[in-house]
Amino acid sequence: MLLMLDSQKGFFEFLPLALTQLPWLMALALITFFLRYVRWFFLLRSAGYSVPVWRGCLSYLSGFAFTATPGKVGELVRIRYFGRLNVNASRVMSAFIFERALDLVVVLCLASVWVVDRQMFGLAASFVSLILLAIGAVMFHPSWLQALGSVFVLKGYQRLARLLLFLARGLAGCRVWLKPWPLFLSLLLGVASWSITAYAFVHLLNALNLEVPLLAGFSAYPLAMLAGGASMLPGGVGSTEAAIILQLQLHQVPFDKALVASVIVRLGTMWFSIACGFVAIIFEELRELTP
């Protein structure tokens, strides 16, 4: 598609200027990674687990290697590396679910700052509400999943039954953080982290001289991420970019420039996080191989 656009003399002519913004986007992304790890570290600490800061950071970053999966479930590769730090798999699962749930709330709030496409926002809000309702229901009633798992055991689906029981334990484990202080600090760090990500997109738009209202630009990327998540495509690839382009076009941004903005912000955020995740995995595996 990019090659086809080149015949219209727009995308590749605009790309070099956009690429100069990648280092800035990556620097901001690193700050958000740090804030999100601080939250994860605090959650584990409040649940009774003490992990080395540096090793814990690598273990957390390793999950980003597989963030481009539906629902980001690939990030559960952290179970492997936190397991080496004596954190059991169920607790890692609980922290993952709790983090995802809070992020959905925070990102939806940021997306509501300026709503241009009400239909897209309604879809995103419905998606978040359904996910949170499902998480809350099983969190307080894990026996529902356990009963379903027992049914699968009787039918001979042992692996699926074990998965459901593991998920039930993970969801039930989230209740340990349903206290004022863990909730407040986790939400505060989430707001700070995702606000920086939203600001990074605003900075990119300004650097590309795209005239989009400040609050509209600030809310555009969070809403696009929710739309990408609702699509259930791995990492929201394609759907997130399409949502960004659609929102920018509502502000009369030409298609080719909107496409450049969507590609660059994704390179500086999601794809950069994937690269960081694989670097963390390499460090972890080399550490394991070193006598």
CA nearest neighbour of 71 among 127, 109, 28: 127
Distance separating the N- and C-terminal Cα atoms of the chain: 49
CA distance 185 to 38: 10
**What's residue 160's pLDDT?**
85
Residue pLDDT, tens place only, 132-158: 999 999 899 888 888 888 888 887 888
Which residue carries 């999601």 as its tokens? 270
- Burial of 9 per CB tally in 10 Å (0-12, 13-18, 19+): exposed
Residue 41 confidence (pLDDT) above 90: yes
pLDDT band at 291 (very low <50, low <70, confident <90, very high): low
Q: What pLDDT, on a 0 to 100 scale, did the predictor assign at position 1? A: 62
Over residues 91-124, the pLDDT tens digits come to 999 999 999 999 999 999 999 888 877 888 888 8
Tokens of 163: 């998965």
Asked if 273 and 60 touch (Cβ cutoff 8 Å), the reply is: no
Each domain of the chain, given as residue ranges in start order, spans 15-289
Cα separation of 161 and 142, whole Å? 14
**Number of C-beta neighbours around residue 57 at 10 A:** 18
Quote the CA–CA distance of 255 and 137 in Å, as a whole number. Answer: 42
**pLDDT exceeds 60 at position 263:** yes
Which among 285, 227, 273 has a CA at the least distance from the CA of 75? 273
More confident: 146 or 45: 45
Closest CA to 63 of 71, 72, 51: 72
Q: What mean pLDDT is predicted for residues 193-221?
A: 91
Dump pLDDT digits (tens) for 161-188: 888 888 989 999 999 999 999 999 999 9
The two tokens of residue 291 are 């006598």
Mean pLDDT score of the chain? 88
What CA–CA distance (Å, rounded) separates 115 from 194? Answer: 17
Work out the burial of residue 80: count CB atoms within 10 Å of its CB; fewer than 13 is exposed, 13-18 middle, 19 or more buried: middle
